[in-house]
């Protein structure tokens, strides 16, 4: 597949990003897998991060009424409280992201870390859903949720395959928030989180003199495709979480993670298992 035209490879990656960004299965992991396996040409870290910003457009479109409500009720204590909680959760993630950058942690070029994170994430979902069966959950976002979700996003950034949306939704549910409220908070928090990550990568590339090495037309194409595919998925998922658990995604992760680990094990030279 590495012989595919560049634009088609970019479109495929854009679809993968858009479809997986808000599902609890990890968009970063799914972007890295076909590139690391050589199925699609390897893109820069900047590409993988910036096209995630396209998913933000989908959230703003799907939640347009909610966003409009925020804009027209800024004088309301409830609106200011919710927006402040979004900001603090984002701030926790942003500070944590800068700390990760200082440590020099980068996206892995091996399959094994993604496979393990995918597999462990499945077990976490199963455990959370089993506990959640006896707890209906609250609709109000508490300050405990803000802190827990902020750190959950940091965890997802460190371990590709974890899933930013999955980690933040499950973290909110684990501390007593109902699934719909947790999903909405995670999606809206994704707007500043993904936009900031994209802008930071772009500014870093400009500062380091690497911006000229990027094919910006292909990045724009990937971002556009990501936005379109994410729009479809977000609309569907908002309805899905009203009446379904995430166990189906856990089974998918379990199969995917196991298959990747088997691939890693089988591809090792004899005598190194």
pLDDT band for position 270 (50/70/90)? Answer: low
pLDDT band for position 204 (50/70/90)? Answer: confident
pLDDT in the model for residue 177 = 92
Following CA atoms 257, 24, 247, 184 in sequence, which dihedral angle do they give, to the nearest 10 degrees?
A: 170
User: Measuring CA to CA, how many Å separate 234 from each of 55, 57, 59, 213?
Assistant: 9, 11, 7, 33
Q: Residues 6 or more apart from 46 whose CB is under 8 A from it? A: 201, 202, 205, 210, 214, 219
Give the Cα separation of 258 and 241 in Å (integer).
Answer: 26
What is the tens place of the pLDDT at every residue in 97-129? 888 888 777 766 678 888 899 999 999 999 988
Query: In 3D, which of 258, 249, 250, 260 has the Cα closest to residue 19?
Result: 249
Angle at 115 between CA 104 and CA 57, to 5 degrees: 70
> What average pLDDT does the chain have?
88
37-41, 77-81, 102-106, 195-199: least confident range: 102-106
Q: Which has the higher per-residue pLDDT, 53 or 149? A: 149
3 state DSSP class of 237: helix
pLDDT in the model for residue 207 = 87
């Amino acid at each position: 597949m590495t012989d595919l035209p560049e634009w088609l490879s970019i479109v495929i990656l854009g679809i993968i990003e858009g479809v997986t960004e808000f599902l609890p299965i990890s968009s970063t992991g799914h972007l890295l897998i076909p590139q690391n396996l050589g199925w699609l040409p390897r893109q820069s870290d900047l590409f993988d991060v910036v096209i995630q910003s396209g998913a933000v457009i989908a959230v703003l479109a799907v939640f347009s009424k909610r966003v409009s409500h925020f804009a027209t009720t800024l004088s309301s204590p409830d609106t200011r409280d919710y927006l402040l909680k979004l900001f603090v959760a984002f701030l926790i993630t942003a500070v944590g992201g800068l700390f990760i950058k200082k440590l020099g942690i980068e996206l892995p070029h091996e399959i094994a870390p993604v496979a393990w994170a995918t597999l462990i994430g499945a077990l976490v979902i199963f455990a959370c859903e089993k506990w959640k069966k006896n707890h209906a959950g609250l609709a109000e976002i508490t300050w405990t949720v803000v802190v827990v979700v902020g750190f959950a996003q940091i965890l997802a950034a460190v371990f590709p395959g974890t899933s930013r949306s999955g980690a933040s939704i499950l973290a909110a549910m684990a501390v007593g928030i109902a699934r719909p409220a947790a999903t909405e908070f995670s999606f809206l928090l994704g707007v500043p989180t993904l936009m900031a990550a994209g802008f930071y990568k772009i500014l870093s590339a400009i500062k380091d003199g690497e911006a000229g090495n990027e094919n910006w037309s292909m990045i724009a194409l990937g971002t556009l495709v990501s936005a379109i595919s994410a729009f479809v998925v977000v609309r569907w998922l908002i309805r899905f979480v009203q009446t379904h658990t995430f166990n189906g995604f856990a089974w998918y992760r379990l199969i995917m993670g196991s298959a990747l680990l088997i691939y890693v094990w089988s591809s090792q030279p004899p005598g190194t298992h």
